[in-house]
């Protein structure tokens, strides 16, 4: 929406500033139906907001692919010992 000579398209009555605060509710499918309709009308008319939502999706995808190698697997032997000790004690 950067061309000042254009007439105002139908942005669903939502500004881009409002859109970026609604994006999580939209992706979580938590918007009421009427608001969802307005949100989608805005997207139809506003390319930068489409880019913004795409970036949010890419962010979520990146978070889901964070590698685990930095997390140590834990001391299984020590835990097994605890388990055996617990198993050998009579039930409370």
Partner 1 sequence: MLSPRTPPGVTTESGLPPFAVAPTTIQTDDDAELLSALKQRDERAFVALVERYQRPLLRLALVYCRSLAIAEEIVQDTWLGMIQGIDRFEGRASLKTWLFQILVNRARTRAEREGRDVSFSSLAEGAEAPGEPAVPPERFRPIDDKWPNNWALPPHSWGESADAGLLAGETMDLVKRAIAQLPSAQQQVITLRDIEGWPAEDVCNVLMISETNQRVLLHRARSRVRGALEGHFNDG
* Exposure class string for 80-91: b at 16+ Cβ within 10 A, else e: eeeeeeeeeeee
* Joined tokens for residue 85: 């000790």
**Alpha-carbon torsion angle 4, 8, 9, 15, nearest 10:** 90
**Contacts with partner 1 in 42-81 (CB under 8 A)?**
46-49, 51-52, 54-56, 58-68, 71-76, 78-80
Q: How far is the CB of 55 from partner 1 (least distance, A)?
A: 5
Residue selected from 13, 24, 40, 44 as contacting partner 1 according to rule CB under 8 A: 24
Is the Cβ–Cβ distance between 39 and 14 less than 8 Å?
A: yes
Give the footprint of partner 1 on this chain (CB under 8 A).
Answer: 1-2, 4, 8, 11, 15-18, 20-21, 23-25, 28, 30, 46-49, 51-52, 54-56, 58-68, 71-76, 78-80, 82-84, 86-87, 91-92
């Amino acid at each position: 929406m950067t061309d000042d000579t254009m007439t105002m398209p139908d942005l669903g009555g939502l500004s881009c500033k409002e859109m970026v605060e609604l994006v999580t509710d939209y992706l979580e499918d938590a918007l009421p139906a009427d608001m969802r309709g307005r949100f989608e009308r805005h997207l139809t008319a506003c390319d930068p907001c489409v880019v913004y939502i795409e970036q949010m999706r890419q962010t979520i995808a990146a978070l889901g692919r964070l590698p685990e190698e930095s997390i140590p697997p834990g001391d299984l032997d020590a835990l097994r010992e605890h388990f055996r000790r617990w198993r050998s004690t009579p039930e409370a």
